[in-house]
Structure 1
Amino acid sequence: MSRKTSLIVLACSLVIIAALVSGAMLRAQHPADASGPAQQLGIMAEVYRYINDDYVVTPNLHKVSDGALHGLVDSLDAASSYMDPAEFKLFEQNQQHPAAGHVAAVVSKRVGYADVVDVQPGGNAAKAGLVRGDFVEAIDGLGTRDMSLEAIHRRLAGPLGQSVTLSVVHLHHSDPVQITIPFAVTPAVPLQSSLQSGVGVIAVPNFDTGRSAQITKAIRSLKAQGAHQFILDLRNCGAGTYAEAEHTANLFLTHGTITYIEGQKYPRLTTSATSADAVLSAAPLEVLINGGTSGPAEVAAAALQQNGRAKLIGDETFGEGSVQKLIPVGDGSALWLTVARYYTPNGKLVQDGLTPNIQQVQYAGALPQLDFPPEGVTGPQADLQMQKALHLLTAAPKAAAAGARR
């Protein structure tokens, strides 16, 4: 790009910024302060000018602008992203023709790199050695630190017969290892239910469509087998739809707020329980959670906890719950912008994670923040969280009976 062209681009950019500044100032009800939009846009214009005038070589202003826009949106939250025209085209293609294969893992972005929230048992990611708590440094040689969450998800899916190579840092290790995962059709994971010591246990792997109906069927089956107390296991449940999670919470509630969504320009939308949809509103209930409990599962767990229906037992949850909106921009680029967030009945952000009523690690010797199987230990291990929940449920009737005999 010639010096003259660079100056023209800069001039146009400054005109646009000046217009934004003027509009912001006209709309303001009070004079702009140092942190106001007018002041910040003015600083951006000044930095732009210094880059163009004083950088060691004539800068590529298009590259500068693209980097600034990516950084601007990425700084908001992990779920928001700016897509340049090429990225937006790939996004649209993926929306119109979703990839048939996936790695069968739930991946988010919390500490700079992609982190693994949950891995589907028996899926290709699990077979390749990926586990909850791993960090993915790179995908096919491209670092995830500068990659949007949308791009990460897109690269973890692809045509059947192809594969993806990840650079992964496992727990307890500092050096990354390369693992290759073939793309495959993600099979439906069945709901698990059992009767343990007279307690009905329902383990929910995800909240895929139809899950709440399966849970209803499991409740009725367990009641027919004699269950009068229940455990809802939401550990390592990081995928699915919020609607299914809300329906599931309603199975155990006759009234009260389940969740609400709200944003700066997104009117509050509240989901409340109705007695007509409740199937188990009185039987004693406990809910198991851990760091793999994310998104929809957190909404269900919070509803049961904060409506006084159940205690949460286990570890703090992952913390995820927001709504994004696609906003095309005139030059062919687009924003994938968070416009609303999920809140618990008590008004806490779901993305801040849930704190259990009873802190209990699953694995002996583990720390609450690092509740994973001990390194080098294989084979079945005692599930301390399940043991704790069973003890609390079965001990209560015995204590009540003993008190009545006194």
Structure 2
Amino acid sequence: MNNQSLPTAPRRTLSLLLGGALVLTIGLGSGFLAGRQSVAAVDGLSEIEHVIRDQALAVPDNQTINDGALRGAVASLDDQYASWYSADEFARFSSQLDGKFVGIGVFLERTEVGMLITGVIPNSPAETAGLKAGEYIVAVNGTRLRSTMPFEEMVGLITGEEGTEVSLLITTTAGEEKPYTITRAKFDLPLTQTQMLDNGVASIRLHEFSRGAADSLKTAITEAKSQGAKGIVLDLRSNPGGLLEESIGVMELFVAPHSRVVTIESRHDHQDMDTGDAEPPFGDLPFVVLVNEYSASASEIVSAALQDHGRAKIVGHQTFGKGVVQSVVNLQGGTGMKLTTARYLTPNGENINEIGVTPDVAISASPERVLQEAANYLIETKPEAFAN
């Protein structure tokens, strides 16, 4: 399975990122131009820099002015997923793609009322504190989050060094404001979690499509089958996405060789992304896919592709609806950036951006009840696989 990237992206493009949300563990920046000399090279910026140095009450250093220009350049893209990273920030961001984090452990989306928590990482400080998906972070260390704040600035207020504390004001799902003080910590994101249910069904939760996701899922399914599982619920609830190559790798576990996974359309190119040559190890395994309103991007690619190919039924709630793709690019001096470079279409040619994937079976209940209903549906629709 080869890493994929858009040919129109700069030569240092790392990978296509299909993330509907970011794990709140890193401080993020934004920007586009590289190099201090670029500030003076842009019309008007050198004049602004001169006015700042001559008249501003508080004069920032050269690096701060340069970084501010970079942040402003990316902000001009009107791209909510675009960010520029300093060298330290980019190193932390890259470690996120490897599933290694320092932070509080929540997945976030920027909204008009604050930062929406779309998922909480197991065994993280956020889970220990009791934060839940669907809640909003509305203030950090006494600073109210404003809709005009860049995403990176909001995240930067919350991130910090291991062992330090951050005070959050949370709006609960009941609409009440509640304060929390959380100590940042280092932790690994477990890619999969397995729960053996009744009647030969295993629930396998895939938390994120970061590096190694497909291999981790393959191992989890193999182990579940060795414990007597005859079918699985692939739980993608609150999975915010990840890497394109991992979504293709997951599809290769279940569908025939050379099956369409997704079509990527950029300004200059059109790519049909298919599975490889190998036969799927679980081509006959009965399973359903469980999703919710926070299942995004790579989760939606996999769900839609399995649905279009008739390989698995989708159960749960309408998904998030992120149908655009970001490229992650290495820049000079160890810095980097992420920006939207393409849109994707399902195998049937559908654009699900701001729409989402419609489940075959809609279920609205408690998380535990939804999981059990998904397992029951699998048994009811595949009785021959679960017969004693």
After TM superposition, the score normalised by the length of structure 2 is 0.68
Which has the larger helix fraction?
1
Amino acid at match of 1:281: G
Q: CA deviation at 1:184?
A: 0.9
CA distance in 2, matches of 1:108, 1:344: 23
Q: CA deviation at 1:104?
A: 0.6
Structure 1 residues 268 and 283, CA gap change in structure 2 (3 angstroms): same
Q: Deviations over 1:229-285 (max 9, x none)?
A: 3321111222543322321122011142112322224x2233212351511112322
CA distance in 2, matches of 1:349, 1:154: 33
CA contact (8 A) 1:212 1:247 kept: yes
2:303 equivalent in structure 1 = 301
CA distance in 2, matches of 1:160, 1:95: 17
Q: CA deviation at 1:359?
A: 0.5
Q: Deviations over 1:105-144 (max 9, x none)?
A: 1101244532111011221112223210112223331524
CA contact (8 A) 1:79 1:150 kept: no
SS of residue in 1 equivalent to 2:187? coil
2:215 equivalent in structure 1 = 213
Structure 1: tracts of 5 or more residues without a match: 1-11, 14-65, 82-87, 329-333, 364-371, 373-382
SS of residue in 1 equivalent to 2:348? coil
Q: CA deviation at 1:389?
A: 2.3
Amino acid at match of 2:117: V
Moved more, 110-119 or 302-311: 110-119
CA distance in 2, matches of 1:399, 1:213: 28
SS of residue in 2 equivalent to 1:130? coil
Structure 1 residues 194 and 183, CA gap change in structure 2 (3 angstroms): same
CA distance in 2, matches of 1:205, 1:327: 26
CA contact (8 A) 2:241 2:296 kept: yes
1:323 equivalent in structure 2 = 326
Q: Deviations over 1:202-247 (max 9, x none)?
A: 2222233223222222323333444433321111222543322321
Equivalent runs, 1:3-402 vs 2, <5 Å: 73=75, 76-80=78-82, 91-96=86-91, 101-111=102-112, 113-140=114-141, 141-174=143-176, 176-189=177-190, 190-194=192-196, 196-238=198-240, 240-255=242-257, 256-265=259-268, 267-320=269-322, 321-324=324-327, 337-352=339-354, 353-363=356-366, 383-398=368-383
Amino acid at match of 1:121: P
CA contact (8 A) 2:196 2:229 kept: no
Structure 1 residues 76 and 357, CA gap change in structure 2 (3 angstroms): farther
SS of residue in 2 equivalent to 1:132? coil
CA distance in 2, matches of 1:186, 1:73: 31
Q: Deviations over 1:79-116 (max 9, x none)?
A: 136xxxxxx6x634411466962111110124453211
CA distance in 2, matches of 1:358, 1:74: 41
After TM superposition, the score normalised by the length of structure 1 is 0.65
Q: Aligned residues: percent identity?
A: 25
CA contact (8 A) 1:134 1:168 kept: yes
Q: Which runs of 4+ in 1 moved over 4 A?
A: 69-75, 96-100, 324-328, 397-402
Amino acid at match of 1:285: F
CA distance in 2, matches of 1:336, 1:210: 21
Q: CA deviation at 1:338?
A: 1.8
CA contact (8 A) 1:242 1:299 kept: no
Structure 2: tracts of 5 or more residues without a match: 1-42, 45-67, 96-100
Structure 1 residues 108 and 130, CA gap change in structure 2 (3 angstroms): same
CA distance in 2, matches of 1:316, 1:74: 31
CA distance in 1, matches of 2:264, 2:157: 29
Give the number of equivalent residue pairs.
Answer: 310
Which structure is larger by alpha-carbon Rg, 1 or 2? Answer: 1
1:51 equivalent in structure 2 = none
Q: Aligned-residue CA RMSD in angstroms? A: 3.6
